[in-house]
């Protein structure tokens, strides 16, 4: 926070999330700490690059005014993400009852006996999407290539694999039951037995492949569980935590069935 005799200015520097070819905005709050009307004006060293709303105004005693600064979309990234642009905020006592329509340039001219407060604010660029850092003290065997928690495709593929295991197991049980019922009927043709055993053999092969996929799911689930416990301080969405728990219950059920 920057403070003077007339206004408190927060923040003391303008931070813009920087992303190529996209506009970005930041805001500052001007609080009148005096018992008089205060007029303000915002200037910048690069007026074509920024839009300030409002760029002039009057703040009543004890009141706060929000100023939004919008940076136009940029076509290239500056070296080292450094910006030399600056803003100048001028403030001066205004007549009681004054409005933004009463503000003139002459009000901010420095004259003898007139106090014009000036504050310079620098521009800071911050990455719009900062890279996530791997927590320190990671356990042995933890891989940074664990399934991304922000990638819904990982969760979708895991549920698809679980569905295959469930479907193959169910189909195998139904085929065994049907074949058993067929053997109890003396009129059952031999072709039915042959077809039944062929189907069972095929399902057994599919079940074996599905169980291998089930093992891979367990490994992914272990990694997800470690990542959840490791990143609780970062605050995972509750829906995701519930999703991982349900996935563990479903896999456990399938293992008991197989």
Pseudo-torsion of CA 8, 9, 10, 16, nearest 10°? 180
Could you tell me the pLDDT band of residue 129, with boundaries at 50, 70 and 90?
confident
180-225 pLDDT, tens digit each = 555 555 555 555 556 656 666 666 666 666 666 667 766 777 777 6
- Residue 68 pLDDT exceeds 70: yes
Could you tell me the pLDDT band of residue 12, with boundaries at 50, 70 and 90?
very high
pLDDT reported for residue 141 = 46
Residue written as token pair 């008089």 = 36
Between 98 and 224, the higher pLDDT residue: 98
137-148 pLDDT, tens digit each = 444 444 444 444
Burial group, residue 86, by CB count within 10 angstroms (0-12, 13-18, 19+)? middle
- Residue 21 pLDDT exceeds 90: yes
Residue 15, H or E segment: strand 14-18
The rounded percent of the chain whose pLDDT value lies above 90 is 45
Between 21 and 248, the higher pLDDT residue: 21
Main-chain dihedrals φ then ψ at residue 27, nearest 5 degrees: -135, 160
Nearest to 257 by CA among 182, 174, 157, 158: 174
User: Residue length, the chain?
Assistant: 258
Between 31 and 239, the higher pLDDT residue: 31
- Residue 17 pLDDT exceeds 80: yes
Residue written as token pair 């399934």 = 147
pLDDT (average), residues 111-125: 94
Could you tell me the pLDDT band of residue 149, with boundaries at 50, 70 and 90?
very low
Please, what's the largest Cα pairwise distance for the chain?
Answer: 118
Average pLDDT of every residue of the chain = 76
152-169 pLDDT, tens digit each = 555 555 555 555 555 555
pLDDT reported for residue 148 = 45
- Give this prediction's pTM: 0.51
Could you tell me the pLDDT band of residue 113, with boundaries at 50, 70 and 90?
confident
State the DSSP string of 53-99: ESSEEEE-TT-EEEEEEEEPPPSSPPGGG----EEEEEEEE--TT--
Cross-sheet strand order for the sheet of 117-127: 14-18, 117-127, 86-93, 38-44, 56-59
Q: How many CB atoms lie within 10 A of CB 3?
A: 13
Instruction: Return the minimum-mean-pLDDT range out of 21-25, 42-46, 167-171.
Output: 167-171
């Amino acid at each position: 926070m920057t403070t003077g005799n007339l206004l408190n200015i927060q923040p003391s520097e303008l931070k813009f999330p920087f992303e190529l070819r996209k506009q970005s905005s930041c805001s500052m709050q001007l609080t009148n700490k005096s018992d008089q009307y205060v007029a303000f004006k915002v200037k910048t060293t690069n007026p074509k690059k920024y839009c300030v709303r409002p760029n002039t105004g009057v703040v009543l005693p004890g009141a706060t005014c929000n100023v939004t600064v919008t940076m136009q979309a940029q076509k290239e990234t500056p070296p080292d993400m450094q910006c030399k642009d600056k803003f100048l905020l001028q403030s001066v006592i205004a007549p009681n009852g004054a409005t933004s329509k009463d503000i003139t340039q002459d009000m901010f001219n420095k004259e003898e006996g007139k106090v014009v407060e000036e504050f310079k604010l620098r521009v800071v660029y911050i990455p719009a999407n900062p890279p996530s850092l791997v927590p320190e003290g990671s356990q042995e065997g933890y891989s940074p290539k664990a399934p991304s928690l922000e990638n819904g495709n990982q969760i979708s593929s895991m549920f698809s694999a679980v569905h295959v295991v469930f479907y193959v197991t169910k189909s195998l049980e139904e085929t065994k039951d049907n074949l058993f019922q067929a053997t109890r009927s003396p009129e059952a043709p031999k072709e039915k037995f042959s077809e039944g055993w062929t189907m069972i053999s095929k399902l057994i092969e599919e079940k074996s492949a599905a169980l291998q996929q089930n093992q891979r799911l367990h490994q992914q689930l272990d990694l997800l569980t470690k990542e959840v416990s490791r990143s609780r301080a970062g605050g995972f969405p509750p829906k995701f935590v519930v999703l991982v728990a349900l996935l563990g219950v479903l896999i456990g059920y399938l293992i008991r069935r197989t």
